[in-house]
């Protein structure tokens, strides 16, 4: 990942490079940005730039020994840490058994979220964390001499998953840094970090991407049709990770089928069926629930677009369209805003760890009433 490959955020990139050029490199920095904003990509491009042997003002050279090592993420002075779970078979709880999976995930594409990471390591619904042992190991690694004589760089993803004892061990490293060490923390929710850590790092705020930056970026980076990319970017509020998730599941059949059954059951107020669907909704885990709610939001918005006569703007697959044509008349100016608001609230509640089934049942009751509201 070089700066040129990053979606948007040109201003942050040039500030980071200017810092390196003028020799101002803080030893502990916190890139704080929501999922899909590209904070992890920025940290990686910055690390490469720090290690590059012939950087220009604009970017790492891409061809020196160090850059070549970055091409496979095998630079000996680049260290990674991230949330993981304790494998039953392993005595210690460390990131080591997951480093290969991490490298593969990063090489495939650094615009991903916790959902993709959970999938990559088969963690399913397990709670991920960064252990004390891991922090001790990082202390040890960063205490060693650098292999190539330059910076030792640590990129630690989601420091908010550190437990307090872990965070305190990292705090020690921040307060008494080892030689030539740069620690890059990449957070989605810096407000959940210990205040003592937050106050000791240089904060780099990475805002969410604008819809248009995200859409153009998805078009260039992944070849997603620009109009389609705009749609996903709009639904996900510029979250490239979530947008690509939607692109891949692009009306995944599971989401589509659940949505269709759900809307029918809500309309006829078939409570036993709704209760059964609540299980289907909650079972696959929190990230899937969030994705489903975004999908529902997308479907509702498509119905609105269709209802206002802009058929050419409607982006639906053939099977979705067949359902939407029958369903769209039930979405109208008298309920459209409220339904969208309910879906957004539900998404926020799920992200905030509220019980999935309860959210679904409450949402269903409210949507049932709104669907029966006359136009
Ligand atoms: Zn280079």
Boundaries of every domain in the chain = 3-207, 250-371
Distance 51 CA to ligand 1 centre (A): 7
Q: Does the structure show a pLDDT above 80 at 316? A: no
Distance 2 CA to ligand 1 centre (A): 10
pLDDT digits (tens, 9 = 90+) for 306-315: 777 666 556 6
Distance 354 CA to ligand 1 centre (A): 47
Distance 120 CA to ligand 1 centre (A): 29
Helices 336-351 and 286-307: angle between axes, nearest 10 degrees? 170
Distance 145 CA to ligand 1 centre (A): 21
Torsion-angle region of 334 (φ positive above 0: left; ψ -120 to 50: alpha; else: beta): alpha
Distance 50 CA to ligand 1 centre (A): 9
Residue 269: pLDDT band with limits 50, 70, 90: very high
pLDDT of amino acid 70: 97
Residue 255: pLDDT band with limits 50, 70, 90: confident
Distance 266 CA to ligand 1 centre (A): 58
Between CA 69 and CA 338 the distance in angstroms is 52
Distance 29 CA to ligand 1 centre (A): 22
pLDDT digits (tens, 9 = 90+) for 362-374: 999 999 999 998 8
pLDDT of amino acid 304: 83
pLDDT of amino acid 322: 83
Domain 3-207 sits in CATH 3.40.50.300:
yes
Distance 148 CA to ligand 1 centre (A): 13
345-357 mean pLDDT: 92
Distance 209 CA to ligand 1 centre (A): 28
Distance 80 CA to ligand 1 centre (A): 20
Distance 138 CA to ligand 1 centre (A): 26
Distance 127 CA to ligand 1 centre (A): 38
pLDDT of amino acid 301: 85
Distance 21 CA to ligand 1 centre (A): 14
pLDDT digits (tens, 9 = 90+) for 48-98: 999 999 999 999 999 999 999 999 999 999 999 999 998 776 677 899 999
Between CA 244 and CA 242 the distance in angstroms is 5
Do residues 136 and 170 make contact, with C-beta atoms less than 8 angstroms apart? no
Distance 49 CA to ligand 1 centre (A): 7
pLDDT digits (tens, 9 = 90+) for 280-304: 999 988 878 988 998 898 889 888 8
Mean pLDDT of the chain: 91
Distance 70 CA to ligand 1 centre (A): 9
226-240, 265-279, 322-336: which has the minimum mean pLDDT? 226-240
Between CA 215 and CA 225 the distance in angstroms is 9
Distance 56 CA to ligand 1 centre (A): 9
pLDDT of amino acid 312: 58
Two structure tokens written together for 40: 């992890």
Taken in order 154, 189, 347, 6, the sign of the CA dihedral is negative
**CA-based Rg of the chain, rounded to a whole angstrom?**
23
Question: Following DSSP, what letter does each residue of 214-252 receive, concatenated?
Answer: HHHHHHHHH---HHHHHHHHHHHTT-HHHHHHHHHHSS-
Q: Is 1 exposed, middle or buried (0-12, 13-18, 19+ CB in 10 A)?
A: buried
Distance 52 CA to ligand 1 centre (A): 4
């Amino acid at each position: 990942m070089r700066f040129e490959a990053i979606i948007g955020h040109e201003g942050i990139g040039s500030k980071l490079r200017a810092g390196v050029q003028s020799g101002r490199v803080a030893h502990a920095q916190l890139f704080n940005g929501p999922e899909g904003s590209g904070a992890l990509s920025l940290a990686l491009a910055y690390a490469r730039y720090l290690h590059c042997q012939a950087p220009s003002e604009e970017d790492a050279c891409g061809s020196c020994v160090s850059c070549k090592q970055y091409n496979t993420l095998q630079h000996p002075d680049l260290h990674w840490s991230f949330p993981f779970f304790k494998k039953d078979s392993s005595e210690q709880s460390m990131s080591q058994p997951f480093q290969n999976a991490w490298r593969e995930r990063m090489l495939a594409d650094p615009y991903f979220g916790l959902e993709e990471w959970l999938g990559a390591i088969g963690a399913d619904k397990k709670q991920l964390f960064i252990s004390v042992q891991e922090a001790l190991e990082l202390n040890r690694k960063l205490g060693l001499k650098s292999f190539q004589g330059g910076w030792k760089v640590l990129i630690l993803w989601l420091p908010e998953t550190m437990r307090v004892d872990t965070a305190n061990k990292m705090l020690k490293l921040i307060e008494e840094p080892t030689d030539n060490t740069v620690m890059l923390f990449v957070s989605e929710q810096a407000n959940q970090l210990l205040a003592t850590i937050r106050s000791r790092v240089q904060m780099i705020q990475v805002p969410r991407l604008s819809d248009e930056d995200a859409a153009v970026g998805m078009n260039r980076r992944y070849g997603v049709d620009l109009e389609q990319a705009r749609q996903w970017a709009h639904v996900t509020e510029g979250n490239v990770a979530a947008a690509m998730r939607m692109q891949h599941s692009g009306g995944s059949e599971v989401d589509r089928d659940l949505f269709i059954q759900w809307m029918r059951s809500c309309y006829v107020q078939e409570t036993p069926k709704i209760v059964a669907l609540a299980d289907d909704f909650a079972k696959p885990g929190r990230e899937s629930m969030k994705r489903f709610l975004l999908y529902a939001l997308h479907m509702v918005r498509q119905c609105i677009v269709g209802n206002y006569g802009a058929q050419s703007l409607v982006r639906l697959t053939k099977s979705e369209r067949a359902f939407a044509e029958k369903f769209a008349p039930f979405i109208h100016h008298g309920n459209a805003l409220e339904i969208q608001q309910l879906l957004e609230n539900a998404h926020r509640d799920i992200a905030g760890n509220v019980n999935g089934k309860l959210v679904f049942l409450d949402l269903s009751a409210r949507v049932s009433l709104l669907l029966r509201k006359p136009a």
